[in-house]
Amino acid sequence: AQSVTQLDSHVSVSEGTPVLLRCNYSSSYSPSLFWYVQHPNKGLQLLLKYTSAATLVKGINGFEAEFKKSETSFHLTKPSAHMSDAAEYFCVVSDNAGNNRKLIWGLGTSLAVNP
Partner 1 sequence: EPEVTQTPSHQVTQMGQEVILRCVPISNHLYFYWYRQILGQKVEFLVSFYNNEISEKSEIFDDQFSVERPDGSNFTLKIRSTKLEDSAMYFCASNGPSYEQYFGPGTRLTVT
Residues near partner 1 (CB under 8 A) are 32, 36, 42-46, 49, 90, 94, 98-108
Q: Residue 85: what residue type?
A: D
Sign, Cα dihedral of 24, 25, 26, 27? negative
| Smallest separation, CB 107 to partner 1 (Å) | 5
The nearer residue to partner 1, 4 or 81, going by C-beta atoms, is 4
Q: Is the dihedral of CA 49, 15, 108, 77 positive or negative?
A: positive
Q: In angstroms, rounded to a whole number, what is the distance separating the alpha carbons of residues 7 and 70?
A: 17
Task: Please identify, using beta-carbon distances, which residue of 28 and 99 lies nearer to partner 1.
Answer: 99
**To the nearest whole angstrom, how small is the minimum distance from the Cβ of residue 15 to partner 1?**
27
**Looking at beta carbons only, is 102 or 115 nearer to partner 1?**
102
